[in-house]
Amino acid sequence: MFEQITDRFDTIFRNLRGLGKITDSNIRQTAREIRRVLLDADVNFRVARDFVKRVSERAEGTKVIKSIRPGEQFIKIIHEELVAVLGPESGELDLGSKKPAVILLAGLQGSGKTTTAAKLAYRLTQEKKNVILVAADMVRPAAVKQLEILGRKVGVDVISDLASTPVQVVKVSLEQARREGRDVMIIDSAGRSHVDEKMMAEIREISSVSNPQEILFVVDGMTGQDAVNSAQAFNEALELTGIILTKMDGDARGGAAVSVREVTGKPIKYLGVSEKLDGLEVFDPHRIADRILGKGDVVALVEKAKETLDVEAADKLRKKIEKNTFDLDDFRDQLRRLQKMGSMSQLLGMLPGVPRKALKGIQMDDRQLLWTEALINSMTPAERKQPQMINGSRRKRIARGAGRSVQEVNQLLKNFAMMQKMMKSMGKMKLPGLPGNMPGMGQFLGN
């Protein structure tokens, strides 16, 4: 899902990340690229246009903010706007207080209504709801059979009556559901086209006799632009309460997901992600935005860094690096800062350019941070200022004090010396911005 769109956003972000400054020209260029990606992913052109406009305006407004890396600020804006387009609310049904709560599923032929009805029923029974399914699709006898089979699979009763009409079956079912004290009644309707007036009148009548708590439009996410158009038409004919995008496990390009809410004003509630009956995901705009924008979650990293990075401290640090007076005390400060930012493995996962795959085999031991700090704590202030004075017997004492091995002390000092050397050369370069987390830290800890 969303692979194509994700890959292309990745390229855009790679370019943005390097930006030292946001200018009109790079805003324009990025805007153009985003627009192209969205249109290629089959996002509705109006939605794409408005999206790009909002992102550009906000990027424009950040031209003056200097506190964090501008490229990342830009990425953060894109992320937030995407969440806004997709959301803001996350899925889940509103079952109200009436019993039974009626859920009516409607949509085009073959969009996945019957499958989704069973998936919903399954989901609700997991939540200990007493559910009943209604087959209101008499157009094809096989459709009733299909629902019956699925109902049996998920252990939910199905009401059907091939000799009756859909409206009649729904009426009778509602009475039965009431009598039986069911919590939820899910109506599976026949597929219909929004231009078929007779069929549209029928679904309106089904709706008016059953007074549904939720009227959900089930639409095939793979159809992109068409999904958006039909959702709009159904939304005008019926009072939809939400949308379910199915077949998102296929090569859905994401256009429907990005546009459908903006165009209809109705929330996406679920995504169908497999043919199996547990293949229904609650729609969460944040998660989907993350997935679309993909890769290392730069945004979260920026947020976390911003929370913990106190500007003054960072400035002091920069001066130290420039003057080459960075000692083990400063190093300990940085360690503490890292700990505040969260676990090492989590942080690594958020770094751009670190492929998830590469992280899979690695067991980052977050305790390493604590051990390293313990070692530094075990040193005297003089030792921290001048590590070169730490001889063999001091090493033993430090190790003992921290409850770690002498080898670890050795390793720490060796790495620190290396880091100092590296900083010396960095200091000569005159660092422009604020150092977020210390460069070379990974190397320090990862042994």
Ligand X SMILES: Nc1nc2c(ncn2[C@@H]2O[C@H](COP(=O)(O)OP(=O)(O)OP(=O)(O)O)[C@@H](O)[C@H]2O)c(=O)[nH]1
In the complex, least distance from residue 45 CB atom to Mg ion, rounded to whole angstroms: 32
Closest CB to ligand X among 66 and 153?
Answer: 153
In the complex, least distance from residue 111 CB atom to ligand X, rounded to whole angstroms: 4
What number of chain residues touch ligand X (CB under 6 A)?
A: 20
Which window, 107-115, 120-128, 293-301, 358-366, contacts ligand X (CB under 6 A)?
Answer: 107-115
Closest CB to ligand X among 137 and 330?
Answer: 137
* Beta carbons within 10 angstroms of residue 356's beta carbon: 10
Beta bridge partners of residue 214, listed in sequence order:
103
In the complex, least distance from residue 250 CB atom to ligand X, rounded to whole angstroms: 6
Contact between 123 and ligand X by CB under 6 A: the answer reads no
Contact between 109 and ligand X by CB under 6 A: the answer reads yes
Which window, 7-15, 110-118, 226-234, 429-437, contacts ligand X (CB under 6 A)?
Answer: 110-118
334 contact choice in ligand X, Mg ion, none (CB below 5 to 8 Å, kind-dependent): none
In the complex, least distance from residue 345 CB atom to Mg ion, rounded to whole angstroms: 45
Contact between 160 and ligand X by CB under 6 A: the answer reads no
273 contact choice in ligand X, Mg ion, none (CB below 5 to 8 Å, kind-dependent): ligand X
Which window, 87-95, 109-117, 398-406, 439-447, contacts ligand X (CB under 6 A)?
Answer: 109-117
Contact between 189 and Mg ion by CB under 5 A: the answer reads no
- Chosen residue from 6, 30, 114, 207 binding ligand X by CB under 6 A: 114
Contact between 22 and ligand X by CB under 6 A: the answer reads no
Contact between 249 and ligand X by CB under 6 A: the answer reads yes
In the complex, least distance from residue 214 CB atom to ligand X, rounded to whole angstroms: 17
Side chain identity at residue 92, one-letter code? E
Angstrom distance (rounded) from CA 156 to CA 332 = 60
Closest CB to ligand X among 96 and 110?
Answer: 110
Side chain identity at residue 203, one-letter code? I
Residue 391: phi and psi, rounded to 5, are -95, -170
In the complex, least distance from residue 305 CB atom to Mg ion, rounded to whole angstroms: 50
Closest CB to ligand X among 169 and 379?
Answer: 169
Contact between 191 and ligand X by CB under 6 A: the answer reads yes
Contact between 114 and Mg ion by CB under 5 A: the answer reads yes
249 contact choice in ligand X, Mg ion, none (CB below 5 to 8 Å, kind-dependent): ligand X
* HEC readout, the chain: CCHHHHHHHHHHHHHHHCCCCCCHHHHHHHHHHHHHHHHHCCCCHHHHHHHHHHHHHHHHHCCCCCCCCHHHHHHHHHHHHHHHHHCCCCCCCCCCCCCCEEEEEECCCCCCHHHHHHHHHHHHHHCCCCEEEEEECCCCHHHHHHHHHHHHHHCCEEECCCCCCHHHHHHHHHHHHHHCCCCEEEEEECCCCCCCHHHHHHHHHHHHHHCCCEEEEEEEHHHCHHHHHHHHHHHHHCCCCEEEEECCCCCCCCHHHHHHHHHHCCCEEEEECCCCCCCEEECCHHHHHHHHHCCCCHHHHHHHHHHHCCHHHHHHHHHHHHHCCCCHHHHHHHHHHHHHHCCHHHHHHHCCCCCHHHHHCCCCCCHHHHHHHHHHHCCCHHHHHCHHHCCHHHHHHHHHHHCCCHHHHHHHHHHHHHHHHHHHHHHHHCCCCCCCCCCCHHHHHCC
Closest CB to Mg ion among 15 and 109?
Answer: 109
- Chosen residue from 272, 296, 387, 427 binding ligand X by CB under 6 A: 272
Closest CB to Mg ion among 143 and 177?
Answer: 143
Which window, 62-70, 194-202, 244-252, 424-432, contacts ligand X (CB under 6 A)?
Answer: 244-252
Residue 136: phi and psi, rounded to 5, are -105, 35
Per-residue binder mask for ligand X (CB under 6 A), 198-237, x = binder: ----------------------------------------
Closest CB to ligand X among 219 and 390?
Answer: 219
* Beta carbons within 10 angstroms of residue 19's beta carbon: 17
* Beta carbons within 10 angstroms of residue 382's beta carbon: 10
Residue whose CB is nearest to ligand X in the complex, by number: 191
- Chosen residue from 56, 223, 241, 246 binding ligand X by CB under 6 A: 246
Closest CB to ligand X among 250 and 349?
Answer: 250
The answer to whether the CB of 345 falls within 8 A of the CB of 356 is no
Angstrom distance (rounded) from CA 331 to CA 339 = 12
115 contact choice in Mg ion, ligand X, none (CB below 5 to 8 Å, kind-dependent): ligand X
**Which residues contact ligand X (rule: CB under 6 A)?**
107, 109-115, 137, 143, 191, 246-247, 249-250, 272-275, 279
**Which residues contact Mg ion (rule: CB under 5 A)?**
113-114, 143
